[in-house]
């Protein structure tokens, strides 16, 4: 499959060289043989198609690389959260770290969008993006952390009211 575009490019180069050399040889011999408009149009359309193919392959490669970076970022965040939960022997600590990291990623995205949308380019845009990213990430991480804490306390209260004991054993000090 990879040899197809290379072979196509090679054929185009040979055709262009033959046309150029053939025209020079005929002019030197005193003959005047011009290339028809359809041949030139065909060569131009082939060159345009090859160019579009190369651009499409570049875009596809860029999309695949972005997906790979996103997957690696997700795996890193998830594994860090699991590691914190294991080291501290507290799953809630791992979940808190997960929410704070999710807030940090959302803050980075928010800061990038704000820096891109600010009319003044340069240091003002970077400062606005950094401040917006910091505020957005911190706020979102804190909101997720608080929401999870409230949901856990409500679940614990519901479980104790229904079954009479706590779903989580508290370690003895």
The string of pLDDT tens digits covering residues 29-59 is 555 556 666 777 777 888 889 999 999 999 9
The answer to whether 100 and 145 are in contact (CB under 8 A) is: yes
C-alpha closest to that of 69 among 79, 77, 57: 77
Q: Using CA atoms, how far apart are residues 110 and 118, in angstroms rounded to an integer?
A: 12
Checking 126-130 for CB contacts under 8 A at 24+ apart, the result is none
pTM (2 decimals)? 0.57
Segment 103-124 shows an average pLDDT of 83
Give the integer Cα–Cα distance in Å for 73 and 136: 19
Q: What is the predicted pLDDT for the residue at 96?
A: 86
> Given pLDDT bands bounded at 50, 70 and 90, which one contains residue 119?
confident
CA 48/CA 152 separation, integer angstroms:
60
Residue 22 pLDDT class (50, 70, 90 cuts): low
* Predicted pLDDT at 69: 94
State the pLDDT at residue 61.
96
Q: How confident is the model at residue 123 (pLDDT cuts 50, 70, 90)?
A: confident
Does residue 65 or residue 120 have the better pLDDT? 65
Dihedral (Cα; 31, 35, 37, 40), 10-degree rounding: -160
């Amino acid at each position: 499959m990879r040899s197809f575009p290379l072979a196509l490019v090679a054929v185009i180069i040979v055709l262009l060289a033959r046309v150029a050399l053939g025209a020079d040889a005929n002019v030197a011999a005193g003959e005047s043989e011009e290339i028809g408009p359809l041949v030139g149009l065909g060569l131009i359309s082939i060159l345009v198609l090859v160019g579009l193919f190369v651009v499409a392959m570049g875009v596809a490669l860029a999309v695949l690389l972005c997906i790979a970076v996103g997957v690696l970022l997700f795996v890193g965040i998830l594994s860090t959260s699991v590691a914190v939960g294991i080291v501290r022997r507290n799953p809630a600590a791992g979940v808190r770290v997960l929410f704070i990291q999710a807030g940090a990623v959302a803050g980075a995205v928010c800061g990038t969008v704000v820096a891109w949308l600010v009319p003044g380019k340069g240091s003002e845009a970077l400062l606005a993006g950094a401040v917006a990213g910091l505020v957005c990430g911190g706020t979102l991480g804190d909101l997720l952390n608080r929401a999870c804490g409230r949901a856990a306390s409500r679940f614990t209260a519901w479980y104790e009211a229904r079954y009479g004991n706590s779903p989580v054993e508290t370690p003895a000090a």
